Structure 1
Amino acid sequence: MKTMFRILFLLSVAKVGAQSSTLAVSDSLYADGNYALAINEYAKEGSYSAQLQIARAYNAMGNYDKALVQYDNIVQKNSSHVLAKYELGKLYLKLKKYGAARLVFSELAEKNNLNPEYFYYLGEALKELNLFPEGIAAYKKSVKLDSTHLRSIFQLGKYYVMQRERDSVLKYVNKGLNFYENDVSLINLKALANYNDNLIWLALPYFERLVELGEHKEYIFEEMGYSYFAMAKYEKAKEAYENLLTFDEENPVALFGIGSAYSKLQQLDSAKIYIKKSIEVQKVVLDKEYNALARLAVEQNDLELAIKYYERAFIEDPSGYLYKYEVCLLTDQHYKKPEKSLKCYEEYLNKFGGKKDYFSEFTSKRIVELKEEIHMDTP
């Protein structure tokens, strides 16, 4: 009898050893990112850990449908597997299945109302479902449980920035900055909260801090430029607008800002250059619209009106050689006046003759024909 027990004990030890060996191989494959082979190895195991790792591997591979099935199977078999349920909820959020995510995190928060992560992710699901009051309540619960929960603090700050409730923004953002003073997201919210309330002298140091921390973004330089200018710091305003111009060299706000700063600095020639350029880049070009109207006029056999529209299109876009060509062609057809047509074709050839395309060839031939017509009609 003792011998039998000993044999059974040795077999159980051997089995545990084999399982440990299999898990070690599987975990090594998973750690190396070899997810397909890791799944095959984990499948040889029936343990909860192995099943959870299979779900994680599918998730890491981007095979989200299989990951969902795997997570769901684990949760259905044993609802006490909280970690699997938690990861399932986050996967629902990733896949924009917000209703399902809401149910998962509501259940988790109900069973453990001391975990700030559950309330944060519940807030995320509620926010995406446009249930803002409930979402804000969830974020607040998260911060109440953990005053340093930066993601919840950021969401609360962002919400109150949009609501233009500066005091509420500062209440939460300052709490986060006390914990991590270089959090650029929170610094940005504090800058915007002050800026939106026209407290530019309070906002400016935070915009400057963002730049120091490497946040080189268009809106930051635009708002810095405006703030410096309003505070009569014209040289700094010019620098901010010059930085803004690096994103788009035809940005009319930046060009006008630089011009205005030069004006205040009594550099009037430079001011005129930038302000004129600001006007130029804002000019609305309507050539396509006039071209469309011209085509409609041709279809209605109103050639005189079509000519006028093509002329307007050419004024809008002087490089549009087809507009000028259409003006000449329709003038030729409609007015039947060789001198008028000849002048138009010669203007076309002088400007666009170098293209040496079909239109230039036709224009050259037509000029010869018109000159012959005029010569024949000359007494």
Structure 2
Amino acid sequence: MKLFLWFVCLTFAVGLSAQNTNEKADSFYANGQFSKAIETYKSLENLDDVYVKIAKAYLALGNYGKAINNYEEAVKTDSENVLIKYEYAKLLTRTNKYNEANQLFTNLIELDSLNPSYYYELGLVLEKQKDTSAFQQFENTFNLDHTHQKAIFKIAKQHLMKRNFLDAHSFIDRGLDSYEDNIELISLKAQTYYHQEHYTHAIVWFNKLLELGEKSEFIHEKLSISYAQNSDYIEAINHRKQALRYNPYDANAMYVVGVYYEHLNNFKQAENYITKALQLKDQSLSEEYETLGTIYNRQKKYEKAINAFQKSLKEDPSNITSEFFMLRTKDEFYANVNHKIKLYENFVERHAKSYFTGFAQRRLKELKEEKFLNEN
């Protein structure tokens, strides 16, 4: 009898010691001391009940390999625990083990076909595997939970990519009904209107992103374009300059700002930004020099305009528009009528079938009449 009581007391003491050790390890984990938590868990004689805890501690440390090893052990010791399998499957996805994750999520769906999270996670795996059936899994998720924000985003994004704008709006609106500040859905709403070329609506939704603290080069760029499409060049310039803060050496953005200033007849700033753009670009600059030339012309800086058009033609000798603009600039700049006549005659001779030839011939006729009158 005494021996039995001693055995009972010993068993109780061992169990109490194990419980205390487990609680101590839990405390380490809760306070972010993950290495100490792992060390303490491993000091237990029976690890069957703590494999998951060890796995989570390794996961917190970023040691995915050992986390996976311990999840595998946890699944072996508690094969009926679907929560462990679910966490393990998500870790497999995270570590690019897509085939294993696919199989495990498929098994989970067989065990519980009404759990929307299983379908969603399987959809993510199939996406990574470039499997088009991923979309079906996101739809399955939505059918089981009409408020599933992440599934709604995936479905709406697919409709946008397919240019099914009405369907995209429909799903986005459902998602926003249950969570009106969903950044991803608001961004998708703005982009859908943008691709529909409904720029006034796009402006409203891109601005909502800014109001919610979302700021990026993409948002400011799209706002700039949208405002420009509505001929609001002041706001277009403002947002393109905001975009330039993220990428201050974006020659294209600088060029666009210059063009917007031209629309506002602010030729000095237009010249400034287009000149900066030209200095940054390392590709054919024919169009940019041509635009700079027209801006110089608007300021009656004819000599600079001629120089810009010459550079445009150097970049692209076939640019007849620049050649004609340069001809018209020389017409304004030079005083000698004979010289002007010769320039127009040469242009007509070289470009008999050009769109600009008719204008050149009419101006040539005017110059010859002017010469005749001056000589008589």
TM-score, normalised relative to structure 2: 0.69
Aligned to 2:160: 161
Amino acid aligned to 2:107: E
Unpaired segments ≥5 residues, structure 2: 285-313, 316-376
Unpaired segments ≥5 residues, structure 1: 286-314, 317-379
Tell me how far apart the structure 1 counterparts of residues 47 and 61 of structure 2 sit (CA, whole Å).
21
Aligned to 1:100: 100
> CA 1:17/1:89 → structure 2, altered by over 3 Å: closer, same or farther?
same
Does the CA contact (< 8 Å) of 2:52 and 2:84 recur in 1?
yes
> CA 1:14/1:239 → structure 2, altered by over 3 Å: closer, same or farther?
same
Indicate yes or no: 2:189 matched with 1:193. Answer: no
Does the CA contact (< 8 Å) of 1:225 and 1:257 recur in 2?
no
TM-score, normalised relative to structure 1: 0.69
Does the CA contact (< 8 Å) of 2:159 and 2:167 recur in 1?
yes
Amino acid aligned to 2:270: A
Tell me how far apart the structure 1 counterparts of residues 262 and 33 of structure 2 sit (CA, whole Å).
64
Deviation at 1:7, TM superposition (A): 5.6
Kindly report the root-mean-square deviation, in angstroms, between the aligned alpha carbons of the 2 structures: 2.5
> CA 1:266/1:12 → structure 2, altered by over 3 Å: closer, same or farther?
same
Aligned to 2:281: 282
Amino acid aligned to 2:135: I
Aligned to 1:202: 201
Deviation at 1:8, TM superposition (A): 5.7
Aligned to 2:220: 221
- How many residue pairs get aligned? The number is 286
Deviations 1:66-121 (A, max 9, x none): 22222112213332021221111111111111111111111111111222221111
SS at match of 1:123: helix
SS at match of 1:215: coil
SS at match of 1:40: helix
Does the CA contact (< 8 Å) of 2:224 and 2:235 recur in 1?
yes
Does the CA contact (< 8 Å) of 1:255 and 1:274 recur in 2?
yes
Aligned to 2:59: 59
Aligned to 2:172: 173
SS at match of 1:246: helix
Tell me how far apart the structure 2 counterparts of residues 125 and 221 of structure 1 sit (CA, whole Å).
33
Indicate yes or no: 2:100 matched with 1:109. Answer: no
Aligned to 1:42: 41
Tell me how far apart the structure 1 counterparts of residues 154 and 217 of structure 2 sit (CA, whole Å).
22
Tell me how far apart the structure 2 counterparts of residues 185 and 237 of structure 1 sit (CA, whole Å).
24
Deviation at 1:12, TM superposition (A): 4.7
SS at match of 2:114: coil
Does the CA contact (< 8 Å) of 1:74 and 1:81 recur in 2?
no
Does the CA contact (< 8 Å) of 1:51 and 1:74 recur in 2?
yes
Aligned to 1:246: 245
Does the CA contact (< 8 Å) of 2:48 and 2:77 recur in 1?
no
Q: Percent identity?
A: 32
Tell me how far apart the structure 1 counterparts of residues 120 and 105 of structure 2 sit (CA, whole Å).
9
Does the CA contact (< 8 Å) of 1:225 and 1:240 recur in 2?
yes
Deviation at 1:258, TM superposition (A): 2.0
